Amino acid sequence: MDAFSCDTAVEPAGPGRWRATVTDRWNVPAGPPNGGYLLAIVARAMAAELPFSDPLTVTGHYLRPVSPGPATIEVEVVRTGRRHATAAARMLRDGREVLRALGTFTDLARADGPRHISATPPPLPPREQCAQLVGRERPDIPPFAQRFDWATPRELLGWREGRRSGQPQIGGWIRLTDTETWDPLALLLVADAFAPAVFQLEDLPIGWVPTIELTVHVRRRPVPGWLRAWFTTDVLLDGYLNEDGIIWDDADQPVAMSRQIALAPR
């Protein structure tokens, strides 16, 4: 079983209750587990209570810092319809609520209807021209980064050595290191996988950017292979920032959109 499936698995623990283990394999550079990883666990429990498994729209509100360890997810089924089903959920660690979520699920395999796409795929060069990194071969990097293969335009990595691009945009090619196939729930993870776009701004410290709320819309089940993701912050105001993301799959389809509101690094 691939690491994502394994580390987001949930086990029944009574009516509307699920047990999970928040592993330390998805810890970000600053230390704690990635927020998209936590949301994926909660969404897994929601899907387990609903007749549909694709997270058409999931919102998480991050309430407290989370450390790895056993967690409980309580799910309330809000409504089940023919085409959509809605659930609310909360994740508890050590008896304290750390994450509250609300989601509407569907069966994207049955989705059908008009199409008009004016969004354009991320402005990424071919992978061969990018800085490539195979996560599993790099025990020296943070656990989260080890879970993926990355291909990132070199000019987007300069912020690590103090060469900021000046444009609050970030992105790259990404895939899980141990599977080619995509669980739609893994798009919640990819939606929060990259360094904050505001790290490209000269006048901001490189530091923790606490997500207050993250919403992800999964629009299509990705085909196997690489994804391309792109994130932009266009309004940093009074210490708060939005970060909007779009994820495209190897068949050149937009498979997910995300938006989060977070605190600027201090």
Q: Does 252 bind a second copy (CB under 8 A)?
A: no
Sign of the dihedral defined by the CA atoms of residues 108, 110, 113, 117, in that order: positive
Sign of the dihedral defined by the CA atoms of residues 37, 41, 42, 46, in that order: positive
Name which of residues 29 to 68 contact a second copy (CB under 8 A): 56-57, 59, 61, 63-64
CA distance 31 to 127: 29
Q: Which of 34, 72, 104, 165 binds a second copy (CB under 8 A)?
A: 104
Name which of residues 174 to 203 contact a second copy (CB under 8 A): 198, 201, 203
For the CB of residue 206, give the shortest distance to a second copy in the complex, in Å: 13
Cβ atoms of 205 and 266 closer than 8 Å: yes
Q: Which is nearer to a second copy, 134 or 263 (CB)?
A: 263
Q: Which is nearer to a second copy, 133 or 236 (CB)?
A: 236
Give the CB-side neighbour count of residue 107, counting CA atoms within 13 A: 9
For the CB of residue 70, give the shortest distance to a second copy in the complex, in Å: 21
Q: Does 82 bind a second copy (CB under 8 A)?
A: no
For 81, 107, 117, the CA distances from 114, given in Å and listed in that order, are 22, 17, 10
CA distance 36 to 213: 11
Q: Which of 88, 133, 206, 223 binds a second copy (CB under 8 A)?
A: 88
Q: How far is CA 28 from the centre of its chain?
A: 12
φ and ψ of 57, to 5 deg: -150, 125
Q: Does 72 bind a second copy (CB under 8 A)?
A: no
- The residue written with tokens 């997910």 in the block is 256
Which range, of 97-105, 127-135, 145-153, 157-165, touches a second copy by CB under 8 A? 97-105
In the complex, the residues that contact a second copy under the rule CB under 8 A are 56-57, 59, 61, 63-64, 78-79, 84, 86, 88, 90, 97, 100-102, 104, 108, 111-119, 167-168, 198, 201, 203-204, 212-213, 215, 217, 219-220, 232-240, 242, 244, 246, 253-254, 257, 259, 261, 263-264, 266
